[in-house]
C-alpha cells in the first residue's frame, strides 16, 4: 500500500501555523495526564501510612496503570485512525477524572486498582492519540514533533509537583487526588473539542527528511510480520524498565537513602532533595524528548539511541555508587531522566519512518505496549531492592541500557536500513510517478 502522507506533490497544503496549533494542543493534553504516572510517587508513602498496605501492594497499582495505559493503546489508536482524535480524547478526559476521584475515596486495594485501570485507559487514549496525530501532521519532522508531544507528558508534572506535595501535606493525599483529578480532566475535555487530524492526504512536506523513510504504509497486521518491529520492541522494554522503576520508586528510594528532606542548593535554588529531584527530573525529561527527537532528525535514529542509552547507563552507575549524596542524587537522576525520556520520541518517530504514516497511530501504539511489558518489572524491582538493596537494581539497569545501546547501533541500524530499502520496490507505480514529478 502506498503512503499518501509522503506524497508532497499530491497533498493538500495546510497553513503551517495550523499544524503547529494542533501540536501545541496535543502537548497541553499530555501535560494534563503526566501526573497519573510521574506524580504517583508522591502518593505511595502517604497511602501506606494511612492504610498500611505495603509499598509492593501499592506499587502494583502503578503497574496496572502502565499496563492498561499501554496495552490498550493499539485499540484506542484504531479508533483514532478510523474516527479521528476528538472523540477518543474526550473519552480519555472522562476516564482520567474518574480515576483520581476513585483514588481519593479508595479504602481498599481493589478500589485503588480499579482507579489504576481507569487512569490507564484514559491516559492511553490521550497519549496514543496525541502522539499519533503529531506523527501524521509532521511527516517531515517526526522526531521533533513526537518529542515535543511526549515532552508534555514528561515535563507536565514539573509544574504541579510542588502544589501536589503541598496539598498532600496540608490537606491529605485524598484532597490532592480529587482536586487535581477534576482539574486535569476538564482541561483535556475542552482542548479535545478543537483537535483535528490532517486531511486525507496530509500536510505538504516543505523539506524532505534527511534520512530515508519507508515508501509504503504498512498495515498493523503487516507490521507484526516484520522482524525489525520486534527488535525495536525489545530495546524499548530494556530501556523503559529502568525509567519506570526509578519514576515509581524515587520517593521510597530517597527515603531509604535518608535524604528526603536534606536541603540541596543548585543554580541559585534551594529545596529538599526529593522535591528538587522530582522537579528537575520532570524538566530534564521534558526537555530531552524534543531535543533528542530533533537530534535524531539530523544524525539518525539509531545513532541518537546509542548516545542516549550509553549516557543512561553511566547515570545509573553513578547513582548506584554515589546516590546517597543528595547533590549527586538530584543531578544524576535529572541527567538520567533527560536521556531516558527520549524513548518516547525516538521509538514513535522510528516506527513512523519504518512503517509509514497512514497507520502511524496504531503502529506506534503497538510498539508503545513495550512500556506496559516493562512495567511488569516495577513490583519485582521493589521486592529485589528490599531483598538485595538498591545497588543490585541499579546495576541491572546499567546492563540493560548498555546492551540496548549496542543493539540499536549494530543490529537495528543495518536491519532497518535493509527494510526501508526493500520498501522502495514495494511502492506502487503511481507513487513512483508522483515522486518523479516532484
Kindly report, residue by residue over 28-63, the tens digit of the pLDDT. Answer: 999 999 888 878 888 988 999 999 998 889 988 988
The 10s digit of each residue's pLDDT in 217-247 is: 899 999 999 999 999 999 999 999 888 888 7
**Residues 32/184, Cβ–Cβ less than 8 Å:** yes
* Type and span of the H or E element at 266: strand 263-266
CB 184 within 8 A of CB 35: yes
> Which residues lie below 8 Å from residue 356, measured CB to CB, with a gap of 6+?
1, 3, 5, 6, 213, 214, 215, 216, 217, 218
Those residues whose C-beta lies under 8 Å from the C-beta of residue 397, and which sit 6 or more positions away, are 241, 242, 245, 246, 312, 313, 316
The three state secondary structure string of 280-300 is HHHHHHHHHHHHHHHHHHHHC
Among 256, 261, 76, smallest CA distance to 165 is for 261
Whole-number pLDDT of residue 215? 83
Round to whole Å and give the CA distance between 301 and 350. Answer: 7
pLDDT in tens, 418-437: 999 988 776 555 444 444 33
Q: What is the DSSP letter of 12?
A: P
Write down the pTM of the prediction: 0.77
Q: Please name the residue ranges forming H helices in 34-108.
A: 35-38, 41-51, 55-71, 73-83, 85-105
On the CB side of 139, CA atoms within 13 Å amount to 30
Task: State mean pLDDT over 308-324.
Answer: 94
Q: How far is CA 306 from the centre of its chain?
A: 18
343 CB-near residues (< 8 Å, 6+ apart): 236, 239, 240, 243, 308
Mean pLDDT of the chain: 86
pLDDT of residue 378 exceeding 70 = yes
Mean pLDDT of the 386-391 span: 85
Closest CA to 137 of 12, 254, 260: 12
Look at 284 and 153; give whichever has higher pLDDT: 284
Residue with cell 492511553: 124
Closest CA to 106 of 98, 97, 115: 115
CA 178 to chain centre: 24
What's the chain's length in residues?
438
With a cut of 70, say whether residue 9 has pLDDT above it.
Answer: no
pLDDT (tens digit, 9 = 90+) per residue, 115-144? 999 999 999 999 989 988 898 888 888 889
How sure is the predictor about 206, in pLDDT bands with cuts at 50, 70 and 90?
Answer: low
**Residue 438, helix vs strand vs coil:** coil
Helix axes 360-375, 343-355, angle to 10 degrees: 140
pLDDT the model gives residue 359: 86
SS3 379: helix
Q: Are 136 and 77 in contact (CB under 8 A)?
A: no
Q: Label the pairing between strands 269-272 and 263-266.
A: antiparallel
Q: Which residues pair with 269 in a beta bridge?
A: 266
List, for residues 339-363, the tens digit of each pLDDT value.
998 898 899 999 989 998 788 888 9
Domains of the chain: 4-203+215-432 (1.20.1250.20)
Q: Could you tell me the CA-to-CA distances from 95 to 102, 114, 195 in Å, in that order?
A: 10, 11, 18
Contacts of residue 217, defined as CB under 8 A and 6 or more positions apart, other chains included, come to: 1, 2, 3, 4, 5, 355, 356, 357, 358, 359
Amino acid at each position: 500500500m502506498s503512503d499518501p502522507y509522503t506524497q508532497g506533490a499530491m497533498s493538500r497544503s495546510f497553513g503551517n501555523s495550523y499544524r503547529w496549533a494542533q501540536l501545541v494542543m496535543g502537548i497541553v493534553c499530555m501535560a494534563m495526564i503526566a501526573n497519573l504516572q510521574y506524580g504517583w510517587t508522591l502518593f505511595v508513602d502517604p497511602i501506606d501510612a494511612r492504610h498500611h498496605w505495603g509499598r509492593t501492594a501499592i506499587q502494583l497499582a502503578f503497574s496496572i496503570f502502565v499496563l492498561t495505559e499501554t496495552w490498550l493503546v493499539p485499540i484506542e489508536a484504531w479508533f483514532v485512525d478510523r474516527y479521528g482524535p476528538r472523540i477518543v480524547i474526550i473519552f480519555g478526559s472522562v476516564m482520567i477524572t474518574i480515576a483520581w476521584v476513585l483514588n481519593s475515596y479508595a479504602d481498599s486495594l481493589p478500589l485503588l486498582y480499579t482507579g489504576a485501570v481507569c487512569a490507564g485507559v484514559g491516559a492511553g487514549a490521550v497519549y496514543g492519540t496525541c502522539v499519533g496525530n503529531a506523527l501524521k501532521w509532521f511527516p517531515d519532522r517526526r522526531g521533533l514533533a513526537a518529542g515535543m508531544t511526549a515532552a508534555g507528558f514528561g515535563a507536565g508534572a514539573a509544574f504541579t509537583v510542588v502544589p501536589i506535595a503541598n496539598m498532600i501535606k496540608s490537606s491529605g493525599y485524598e484532597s490532592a487526588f480529587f482536586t487535581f483529578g477534576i482539574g486535569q480532566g476538564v482541561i483535556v475535555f475542552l482542548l479535545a473539542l478543537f483537535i483535528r487530524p490532517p486531511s486525507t492526504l496530509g500536510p505538504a512536506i516543505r523539506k524532505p527528511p534527511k534520512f530515508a523513510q519507508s515508501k509504503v504504509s504498512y498495515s498493523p497486521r503487516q507490521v507484526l510480520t516484520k522482524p525489525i518491529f520486534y527488535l525495536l520492541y525489545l530495546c524499548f522494554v530494556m530501556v523503559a524498565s529502568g525509567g519506570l522503576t526509578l519514576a515509581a520508586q524515587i520517593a521510597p528510594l530517597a527515603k531509604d537513602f535518608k535524604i528526603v528532606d536534606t536541603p540541596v542548593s543548585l543554580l541559585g535554588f534551594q529545596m529538599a532533595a526529593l522535591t528538587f529531584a522530582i522537579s528537575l527530573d520532570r524538566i530534564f525529561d521534558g526537555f530531552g524528548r524534543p531535543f533528542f527527537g530533533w537530534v535524531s532528525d539530523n544524525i539518525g535514529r539509531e545513532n541518537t539511541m546509542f548516545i542516549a542509552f550509553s549516557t543512561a547507563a553511566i547515570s545509573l552507575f553513578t547513582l548506584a555508587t554515589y546516590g546517597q549524596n543528595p547533590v549527586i542524587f538530584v543531578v544524576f537522576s535529572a541527567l538520567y531522566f533527560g536521556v531516558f525520556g527520549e524513548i518516547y520520541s525516538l521509538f514513535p518517530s522510528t516506527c513512523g519512518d519504518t512503517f509509514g504514516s497512514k497507520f502511524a497511530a496504531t503502529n506506534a501504539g503497538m510498539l508503545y505496549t513495550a512500556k506496559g511489558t516493562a512495567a511488569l518489572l516495577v513490583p519485582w524491582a521493589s521486592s529485589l531492592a528490599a531483598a538485595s538493596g538498591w545497588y543490585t537494581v541499579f546495576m541491572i539497569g546499567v546492563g540493560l541500557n548498555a546492551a540496548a545501546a549496542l543493539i540499536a547501533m549494530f543490529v537495528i541500524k543495518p536491519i532497518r536500513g535493509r527494510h526501508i530499502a526493500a520498501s522502495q520496490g514495494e511502492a506502487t507505480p503511481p507513487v513512483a510517478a508522483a515522486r518523479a514529478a516532484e
